[in-house]
Structure formats: C-alpha cells, structure tokens
C-alpha cells in the first residue's frame, strides 16, 4: 500500500481530523514531535493508532503531514 494519499485526499483527511479527534492538526504534530524516535513511516502510524486510538487514515495523514513539514524545514 502506498504511504501517501493523493493531495486532495490528504487535505480532506486533515480537515476532518479536528472534528473526528477533538484535537487540532498542530496539536497532533506536536504529539508526534514529542513522541518516541521511530524511523519508519508505518511504525509512527502504528504508534499513533495504539497510543491515541486513531483511525488508520487519520494517523497516516498526520504522519505524512509531519514528514512534509519536517522536510520543508530542512530546505530553509
């Protein structure tokens, strides 16, 4: 299975996360930043799912967004 969604699907998932989880995306990104130092994408997704009881799609979207933003910071 692909690690990333289409851009449209990714944005739609992100927009629904606050409604479905009660927490803003920025809060989830801080949670990932402060979480364990996992290297693999699927390990991070599994951690979010098990520790925070997130749906697979939401966890995957959060980790993808986290990775996108981290990569953007490295380019600056």
pLDDT tens for 32-75 read: 999 999 999 999 999 999 999 999 999 999 999 999 999 998 87
49, 59 contact by CB (below 8 A)? yes
How far apart, in whole angstroms, are the C-alpha atoms of residue 8 and residue 53? Answer: 24
If you count DSSP H runs as helices and E runs as strands, how many of each does the chain have, helices first?
4, 0
pTM: predicted TM-score of the whole model, two decimal places? 0.89
Domain extent listing, the chain: 7-75
């Amino acid at each position: 299975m692909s690690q990333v969604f289409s851009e449209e699907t990714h944005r739609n998932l992100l927009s629904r996360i606050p409604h479905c989880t009660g927490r803003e995306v920025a809060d989830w990104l801080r949670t990932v930043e402060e979480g364990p130092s996992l290297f693999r994408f699927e390990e991070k997704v599994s951690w979010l799912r098990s520790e925070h009881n997130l749906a697979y799609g939401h966890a995957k979207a959060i980790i993808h967004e986290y990775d996108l933003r981290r990569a953007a910071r490295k380019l600056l």
